[in-house]
Amino acid sequence: MNILRLVLLGLAAVAAVFLGWTFLQQAIQPEKSPTVEASTFASPSHEDQASLQDLEKARSKIADEIATSPDYMRFFERLKSRFPADYQSFLTASAKRMVVTGDMGGADRLMSEAVRTLRLSHGVLAAKADTPALAQIFVMQLAMLQALAAKDQRLCVDFLYGGASRDFFQFSAENRALIVKMALAGLDAITDGEAKRIERAAPNDADFAMLDQALRDKGLDTPEIEALLDGKTSDPPLEDARVCHAGTIYLETLAELPEPTRSRIYGLAVELMARS
């Protein structure tokens, strides 16, 4: 089994979960947004005082916006407690963007940006978490997949492959409690990984052969398995309902693999996404 398949597996396994959040980020960000250089507000000289005042006002408005969502507040309070530097970095970057663009982006975008900040700085630590904390990431991914499937099979498929759409943004806004549970699973895994620092071997061919066979035993056929593990598109393409069902079986099967195979695959998947 070549390295490309390992990479694709890792990306598919956590395409839109907390550590990546590519799906949500693309769904809520405007097509183009001005960038703000860090040096813009770096020097507190006399002529910059107005800008600094604007920054403080923006930070205050951002905090007020976050407070409008009790669900999101749970995440931000835990982030501020466990990783205060990341929390402050998120506030500063969001405030700078708001000063330049005049647009805060709303609570959902703020949530996404905070998660992205944490992923970039500490995401890889989740791969070093103890087995229960690591597994919880995938428990929540399965819950997310099932919720999307119940609403729209197309959204379910997009979630599997890390796509994005305005419909997902709407789903996220309507299901903030679920989004927060995913985010907290990732944050808890990072915290646990920082403390435990568990080093796992990479999954080997025998591990993936076991997964492949387990998927076939669950009723998946070659086109479905290749769609999940290799990113292949069959001709004709598989129906959305079929791909979504296969994704659900895939996550359920991963959870049933024996240790240490399961944690080796989980760890690789999380590490790959954290570094992407």
Check whether 187 has a pLDDT greater than 90: yes
Which secondary-structure segment (H or E) carries 61?
helix 49-67
Task: Give pLDDT, residue 1.
Answer: 41
- State the pLDDT confidence band at 274, using cuts at 50, 70 and 90: confident
- Give the model confidence (pLDDT) of 115-141 as tens digits: 888 888 898 999 999 999 999 999 998
Tell whether pTM > 0.85: no
The 10s digit of each residue's pLDDT in 200-213 is 998 888 988 898 89
For residue 143, the 8-state DSSP code is H
For 19, the 3-state DSSP assignment is coil
Residue 6 C-beta-side C-alpha neighbours within 13 Å: 17
Span 42-48, average pLDDT = 44
CA–CA dist 43, 58 (Å, integer): 18
DSSP 237: P
**Across residues 91-106, what is the average pLDDT?**
89
pLDDT score for 194: 96
Indicate the Cα dihedral angle 7, 190, 210, 242, nearest 10°: -70
Cα four-point dihedral sign 26, 29, 35, 36: negative
The predicted-structure confidence for 223-271, as pLDDT tens digits, reads as follows 888 877 766 777 788 898 998 899 899 899 999 999 999 999 899 888 8
Phi first, then psi: give them for residue 249, nearest 5 degrees.
Answer: -60, -40
Q: What is the pLDDT of residues 62-82, one digit of tens each?
A: 999 999 999 999 999 999 999
Instruction: Tokens 């990113």: give the residue.
Output: 231
Task: Give the confidence band of 9 by pLDDT, cuts at 50, 70, 90.
Answer: very low
Residue 231's pLDDT is 66
DSSP annotation of 238:
P
Nearest of 153, 242, 172, 126 to residue 24 by alpha carbon: 172
Q: What is the pLDDT of residue 65?
A: 93
